[in-house]
Amino acid sequence: MKILIADKISGSGVQFLRDQEGVEVVEAYGSSQEELEGMVADVDAIIVRSASSVTKAIIDAAPKLRAVGRAGVGVDNIDIEAATDRGIVVMNTPGGNTIATAELTFTHLLCSARPIPQANALMKAGKWEKKAFQGSELYKKTIGILGLGRIGSEVAKRAKAFGMNVLAYDPYLTKARAEQLEVNKVELEEVFEKADFITVHMPKTETTKNMLNASTFAKMKDGIRIINCARGGLIDEDDLAEALRSGKVAAAGLDVFVEEPLSSESALREHDRLVMTPHLGASTAEAQENVGLEVAESIYESLMGGWVQNAINAPSIDPKQLAVLRPYLNLAFKMGTVIQQLTPSEINHIRITYSGNLVNLEVKPLNRAFQRGYLRKITTDVNDVNAPRIMDRLGIKGEIVQNSLERDYTELIRIEATDSNGKSYSIEGTLIGKSQNPRLTLVNERNVESPLDEKYLLVLENEDVPGIVGMVGTVLAKHKLNISNMSLSRNTVGGIALNICGLDSEPEAEAIAEITANKYIKGIRVVNLNGA
């Protein structure tokens, strides 16, 4: 396995990877995008911080690529769309640099109130200047925090310790969490109207891009102080420069920029009251140790086929959850493969119902496992990352229901697939016994008891007349096909019955033809569970 580390991560992260058997590590710090493109032909994983980008061009140049790891939070330097299409898992390390970035934000906040960098520059130039550097206190001032996630919350705690009044704007922040953090959750307009300081801690999205601009500055108090240690482009840089010139913004602190590195010609460099740092939020020994080791471990884990805890484009799952979900993942996967092989090729709707104990579980990983099972015989290279995309491409709409059905089983998965003529097919499955073996409990509304850890299932529909079991047994025996299990079911005497035989090997075409030739046989399907 070859892992390319494009940006410098902590030595312990690199060492961890070097210590793993069969892992080759290539460190390519400071390479240009073009150089990286030329290095990825045989890499299995790429690790970046914020300097290098994993573009579509790089992804296209890396046919073996399976995982991209970001040592940090923001993944705007990774083409998630292109990665997802290829089934490449993208993961980050949220949390590892939260404190570092919150502390840098506070440093900027203090420097916007007390012009320490500017005073220091004059001291270094041999001067002793006091008058120009009168500051302002944080105590009893109002701070507006936009985005109350990991970093915003830590900034809020520190602001409260300084005796500040905290206003929080975050549409996704629950009332309960705002109460727990002891902040006032308000609308954006109230932040603009009341804040003396505004700091942004949101991701850069279509909604948050240029959220602070000339027209929003106009709504703020004169002498407002603005901090951005999140992402360049949350604040319109030209409008900020103008507001600093006019004095509307008394001071600002920026750690991030629309274009990084910031051009040496940038007009932002001209403003005395603007303090800038070169994207240093995560640059502490502790944060780099955290994220470097975490990304290295996650990348290795994912390449070894384990679950990724902080995947951006697949459901994340922690080891505790995984222990609970593992048998259901197996069941969901097998049910995916069974329903696909029992139905016509043109399926346009699938409803999955999770019943009983599954009602309260996080089922996203189960949906992906089902989809992988469904797609297993339709396409290659399907995984938890690209399975939903492939289902979409096939035009199959999905519906997930978590609702207890009246069944005798404590947990159950029901699948209903509808074909392009509106005809529905159903299966249900559960786990049986201490060893939690997957079992089919219903096929097309007929109760069955058919283990899913067989190699093949022969699924027959026949008129309910005597002699069918004998005929099937005779034909299978003639073709040396060993029956491992048989489940018979009918809804009405003399109606259409269902017969599912577990088989140790694949029935050849002649055996199927002989059984089908019997006039009472109304339908026959072979389900291949081999390797499923």
Ligand X SMILES: O=C(O)CC[C@@H](O)C(=O)O
Ligand Y SMILES: NC(=O)c1ccc[n+]([C@@H]2O[C@H](COP(=O)([O-])OP(=O)(O)OC[C@H]3O[C@@H](n4cnc5c(N)ncnc54)[C@H](O)[C@@H]3O)[C@@H](O)[C@H]2O)c1
* Sign of torsion over alpha carbons 498, 501, 505, 507: negative
Give the tokens for residue 205. 């999205």
| Backbone φ/ψ region at 235: left (φ over 0), alpha (ψ -120 to 50), beta | beta
Looking at beta carbons only, is 23 or 295 nearer to ligand X? 295
Q: Which residue's Cβ has the minimum distance to ligand X?
A: 72
Least distance (Å) between residue 258 CB and ligand X: 14
DSSP three-state, residue 337: helix
User: What number of other Cβ atoms are within 10 A of residue 148's Cβ?
Assistant: 25
Looking at beta carbons only, is 231 or 414 nearer to ligand X? 231
Give the DSSP per-residue string, 352-413.
EEEEEGGGGS--HHHHHHHHHHHHTTT-SS--TTTHHHHHHHTT-EEEEEE---S-SSSEEE
Give the DSSP per-residue string, 263-316.
PTT-GGGG-TTEEE-SS-TT-SHHHHHHHHHHHHHHHHHHHTT---TTBSSS--
- 3-state SS, 123-192, equals HHCCCCCCHHHCCCCCCCCEEEEECCCHHHHHHHHHHHHCCCEEEEECCCCCHHHHHHHCCEECCHHHHH
Q: Which whole-number Å values give the CA distances from 365 to 307, 321, 352, in the listed order?
A: 10, 10, 13
| Contact partner, 49, from ligand Y, ligand X, none, Cβ < 5-8 Å per class | ligand X
| Contact partner, 141, from ligand X, ligand Y, none, Cβ < 5-8 Å per class | none
| Contact partner, 169, from ligand Y, ligand X, none, Cβ < 5-8 Å per class | ligand Y
Looking at beta carbons only, is 50 or 343 nearer to ligand X? 50
Least distance (Å) between residue 101 CB and ligand Y: 4
Q: Which of 279, 376, 414, 446 is catalytic?
A: 279
Asked whether the bond before 261 is cis by omega within 30 degrees of 0, the reply is yes
Looking at beta carbons only, is 107 or 489 nearer to ligand Y? 107
Least distance (Å) between residue 289 CB and ligand X: 13
Least distance (Å) between residue 195 CB and ligand Y: 14
| Contact partner, 87, from ligand X, ligand Y, none, Cβ < 5-8 Å per class | none
Looking at beta carbons only, is 281 or 507 nearer to ligand Y? 281
Looking at beta carbons only, is 1 or 220 nearer to ligand Y? 220
DSSP three-state, residue 447: strand
Least distance (Å) between residue 282 CB and ligand X: 4
| Contact partner, 208, from ligand X, ligand Y, none, Cβ < 5-8 Å per class | ligand Y
Least distance (Å) between residue 155 CB and ligand X: 15
Q: Which of 182, 260, 270, 506 is catalytic?
A: 260
- Interatomic CA distance for residues 62 and 45, integer angstroms: 9
User: Which parts of this chain interact with ligand X (CB under 6 A)?
Assistant: 49-50, 72-74, 97, 279, 281-283
Reply yes or no on whether 368 is catalytic.
no
Least distance (Å) between residue 65 CB and ligand X: 21
User: Which parts of this chain interact with ligand Y (CB under 6 A)?
Assistant: 72-74, 94, 97-98, 101, 146-152, 169-172, 201-203, 207-208, 229-231, 255-256, 279, 281-282
Q: How buried is 526 (Cβ within 10 angstroms: 0-12 exposed, 13-18 middle, 19+ buried)?
A: middle
Looking at beta carbons only, is 101 or 499 nearer to ligand X? 101
- Interatomic CA distance for residues 350 and 358, integer angstroms: 18
Give the DSSP per-residue string, 68-116.
EEESSS--TTB-HHHHHHTT-EEE--TTTTHHHHHHHHHHHHHHHHS-H
Q: Which residue's Cβ has the minimum distance to ligand Y?
A: 149
Reply yes or no on whether 490 is catalytic.
no
Looking at beta carbons only, is 107 or 216 nearer to ligand X? 107
Residue 297 CB-half CA count within 13 A: 10
Reply yes or no on whether 129 is catalytic.
no
Give the DSSP per-residue string, 506-529.
PPPHHHHHHHHTSTTEEEEEEEE-
Least distance (Å) between residue 182 CB and ligand Y: 16
Catalytic machinery residues: 231, 260, 279
